[in-house]
Amino acid sequence: MLSLAFPAIDPIAISIGPIAIRWYALAYIAGLLLGWKYVVYYCTKTPNIMSKRDVDDLLFWATLGVILGGRLGYILFYNLDYYLDNPANILKVWQGGMAFHGGFMGVIVAIILFARKRNISILAVLDAAAVATPIGLFFGRIANFINGELYGRTTDVAWGFVFPNGGPEPRHPSQLYEAALEGLILFVVLFILSRKAFVRHRPGILGGTFVAGYGISRIIVEFFRQPDAQLGYLAGGITMGQVLSIPMVLAGIGCIIYALKSKPIETRIHPKEAENA
């Protein structure tokens, strides 16, 4: 079968003595920092939502949510038996083991706590976080590809790769599929929507679009992605990723419907925005 040569990129980006900085860690850092900058930009276009100081503090809360939620989600959803037998390995995050759905729930909890503490609309904070999240997803999936992990199922398509740890057969580069769907395409969709005053002044539309959009993207990609070895396929041939993504689609649609039925928030609408409202 035809296949592409897997790029020989060292997962360790920088090595200084015993200190090794991996591309995966840099992907997290790049996603958080660029996302933070983009949220600041978004908030300048949507007055009376969050100040720059609020955005700075939200970055800290969101980072904790991603790390703690992502790790806990992986343990509970994907490898509970292993960590029950090896509890000392729970804190060894440098060995891998993060789940997006867990990180998502962690960020949702962080957003709720942050918004209540600052007396800000929870849905407005969700919108701000949503427009930037695809940036982190894009870099994260590229890092997964570099690591040769979370690869796809075997295939005979011309763009299949023989992954170092995936056996001799070509496989779908499902990490790149996710980078495109969850990262690039979802970012563009949210960017276009965020430019409409009608959308920005109805908290929940952007957040709901992201949640549903990610869920749909993940369900699609799971048809090409190799299930985790310790789980395999669930009843009916579906995967854990699909099971966890279905509630996201439903919740996202519900959030959009709620936002459309709600009264627009009071903001200073500029003349040019009023034309698009």
Annotated ligand binding at 171? The verdict is no
Q: Identify the residue whose tokens are 């100081």.
A: 53
Task: Check residue 9 and report its DSSP letter.
Answer: -
Number of residues in the chain: 277
Nearest CA-CA partner of 179 in 229, 218, 127, 130 = 218
Give burial (CB, 10 Å; 0-12/13-18/19+) of 191. middle
Nearest CA-CA partner of 182 in 161, 151, 211, 149 = 211
As a whole number of angstroms, the distance between CA 188 and CA 161 comes to: 27
Q: Are 115 and 121 in contact (CB under 8 A)?
A: yes
Give burial (CB, 10 Å; 0-12/13-18/19+) of 225. buried
Q: Are 263 and 226 in contact (CB under 8 A)?
A: no
Q: Identify the residue whose tokens are 């060894």.
A: 92
Nearest CA-CA partner of 204 in 262, 259, 146 = 259
Tokens of 193: 């929507």
Phi–psi pair at 201, nearest 5 degrees: -95, 10
Q: Strand ranges (DSSP E) for 46-189?
A: none
Binding-site residue numbers are 141
